[in-house]
Amino acid sequence: MDDKGELIEQVLDRYDTRFNPSRSGWQSIQCPNEDGHANGDKNPSCRLNLTLGLVKCNACELVGDGYNVVMTIEGVDFKGAKQQLGSVYEKVESDWLI
């Protein structure tokens, strides 16, 4: 959970954002923040760095780590983002138990 790369992967999966999980350094992805783009982000303007666990969109305000992504998209504060991500991790853990 402290691993920022793992966190951002979980968050992007949650928003069905495609990325290359084996790529280090920066890669272009379609922005998960659909509301920040009037007609969708057709020409990927978001940059992702799995090593740093960070995204930065050049076309909307989305920037930061997995928590920032959830905060921006869901319009919640850090506590709210933590709660939402907590449920993601609980789900993963319960899958492991089966």
Axis-axis angle for helices 4-14, 66-74 (nearest 10): 30
Any idea what DSSP says for residue 47? E
Select 22 or 39, whichever has its Cβ closest to Zn ion.
Answer: 39
> Could you tell me which stretch among 1-9, 10-18, 62-70, 71-79 binds Zn ion (CB under 5 A)?
62-70
Contact 8, 68 (CB under 8 A): no
- The answer to the question of residue 80 lying near Zn ion (CB under 5 A) is no
- The answer to the question of residue 70 lying near Zn ion (CB under 5 A) is no
Beta 63-64 vs 54-57: how paired, if at all?
antiparallel
- Which of 33, 54, 65, 72: binder of Zn ion (CB under 5 A)? 33
Taking the complex as a whole, the smallest distance from the CB of residue 79 to Zn ion amounts, in Å, to 24
Residue carrying the six token digits 């090593």: 51
List interacting residues with Zn ion (CB under 5 A).
31, 33, 36, 57, 59-60, 62
